Amino acid sequence: MSKTDTLSNLFLGYQELLLQNKGLEATDLYYHDNIHHYENHNEPLIGKTLLRAKEEAVIQSMKSNSISIEDVVIDENQQLVWGRMNFVFDGIELGKKILDEAFMQKWHNGLIKELRFFYASIQNQ
């Protein structure tokens, strides 16, 4: 990685896409082909293609959404990012909901190789 490709800079690029509601673009640019995606203690979804299809389905199930990312900690040496994300959405069937979750990312060669989300439940807005 060059100096401009520090984990901090890579994460800022990823975060910017999420904040612009460009989650599919973020998936395409920053997820490893063999990404392991975990939610709480469930079995992982493995592979960018599968995860992208899931994200497309989620996007299609929403009228609107917004994301804020807070409390980010970046460990350049271990290539880890920890943070908290607040996801507010208006689902076609679910209505208005809020999901407050912690996340952990393991990066490898400039891509997210493992992604874990931890949350209690989706709350009504």
The CA distance from 18 to 13, in Å, is 9
Q: Where do the domains of the chain lie, and which CATH numbers do they carry?
A: 3-124 (3.10.450.50)
Please report which helix (H) or strand (E) contains residue 34, including its range. Answer: strand 31-39
Q: Please, is 105 exposed, middle or buried when counting C-beta atoms within 10 Å of its C-beta (0-12, 13-18, 19+)?
A: buried
pLDDT for res 69 = 95
pLDDT, tens digit, 9 for 90 and up, residues 32-58:
999 999 999 999 999 999 999 998 998
pLDDT classification of 125: cutoffs 50, 70, 90: confident
